[in-house]
Amino acid sequence: MDDFAKEIAQTLSDYTDEVTEGLQEAQKDVARQSRKRLKSDSPVGDYAGGGDYAKGWRAKKIRNGGYVVHNKTDYQLTHLLEYGHAKRGGSGRVRAYPHIRKVEQQAIDEYQRRAEKVIRG
């Protein structure tokens, strides 16, 4: 009976390791895909240096094992471009260029799909 309990414990441990490894791989892949999508979907200005915002997207691994996708170079523009803002002189608004929300939802859906696949084996 003792061997049976050890075998079950070992099987559960192996399964946990496989799931953890699979989820980490899914996180990494989804973060990279999101970064690529944001680079391609970000608005590009018609001026010198206009592509800097789009080129600034990074996927960074954080301490607890997850990933954060952020704009390293022009982080100040993310909210302004996503939601629009008042014009400098106060007369009117600049239109929004929604590009983050769409990629965020795609990342959530993709990660959920991949996580279910990993857990089911």
Average pLDDT, the chain: 93
Give the separation between CA 13 and CA 78, rounded to whole angstroms: 42
List the domain range (segments joined by +) for residue 40. Answer: 2-120
Q: How many domains does the chain have?
A: 1
Q: What average pLDDT does this structure show over 54-79?
A: 95
Locate tokens 């099987």: which residue? Answer: 11
Contact in structure between 68 and 62 (CB atoms under 8 Å):
yes
Contact in structure between 27 and 66 (CB atoms under 8 Å):
yes
End-to-end CA distance of the chain: 28
Reported as a single tens digit per residue, the pLDDT across 23-34 is: 999 999 999 999
For position 48, what pLDDT does the model report? 77
Is the pLDDT reported for residue 1 higher than 80?
no
Q: Residue 27 CB: number of other CB atoms within 10 A?
A: 19
